[in-house]
Amino acid sequence: MSFEKVKEYFETLGMGDRCMDLEESSATVALAAQALGTEEARIAKTMSFLLDDKPLIIVVAGDARVDNHKFKMSFHKKAKMIPGADCEKYIGHRPGGVCPFCLPEGVPVYLDVSLKRFDIVYPAAGTDHSAVKLSLPELERASASQGWVDVCKNWESEEGERG
């Protein structure tokens, strides 16, 4: 998937100007935060999993880690990440640019409660040099989220600024 495809999608939502094609790499949380001049926690990591050989996306705060027990409680299966080499096959995006937009039909997207600390977050926009600036309600709509889940750890002690 490309930045252009994601930007076209956001144009249909009237938010094409939110998509950023970055000079610097945004392939990791740390690189994305540096490129955007924001804290790592505000980078909305898009995590891709397989449940019974079907892809599932969960968007989490940049400082959060998936908790296997919480994941299993929510989805009744052990967390199994999609191997990097298979990301594009299952979800249409390459590692570093995985985002919750322009996914193949039927791929469910969930948002983790670790994001709720923030008014604005920055998910990728289809490449490892991109981002989209979104409010949480905008992220919910643009990603066609199935709802909120609580599957992460290590972020609760972080206050995070709002705004």
In a domain, 7, yes or no: yes
Establish if 78 belongs to a structural domain: yes
Q: Is 129 inside any structural domain? A: yes
**Boundaries of domain holding 124:** 3-153
Domain assignment of residue 161, yes or no: no
Is there a contact between 158 and 36 (Cβ–Cβ < 8 Å)?
A: no
Q: Is the pLDDT of residue 136 over 90?
A: yes
Say if 123 falls within a structural domain: yes
Backbone angles phi, psi at 132, to 5 degrees: -130, 130
Q: CA 146 from chain center: how many Å? A: 14
CA-to-CA distance for 90 and 100, rounded, in angstroms? 13
For residue 145, what is the domain's CATH number? Answer: 3.90.960.10
Residue 51 corresponds to which tokens in the numbers above? 């449940």
Strands 19-21 and 109-112 come out as unpaired
Cα separation, 37 vs 122, in Å, equals 11
* Residue 156's pLDDT band (cuts 50, 70, 90): confident
pLDDT band at 1 (very low <50, low <70, confident <90, very high): low
- Whether residue 116 contacts residue 157, with contact meaning beta carbons closer than 8 Å, is answered with no
Residue 162 is assigned to a structural domain of this protein? no
81 inside domain: yes
DSSP bridge pairs for 111: 59, 148
Q: pLDDT category, 79, cuts 50, 70, 90?
A: confident
Q: Name residue 17's beta-bridge partners.
A: none
Mean pLDDT of 21-34: 95
Mean pLDDT of 103-130: 96
In this prediction, residue 75 carries a pLDDT of 95
Q: How many structural domains comprise the chain?
A: 1
Task: Decide: helix, strand or coil at residue 19.
Answer: strand
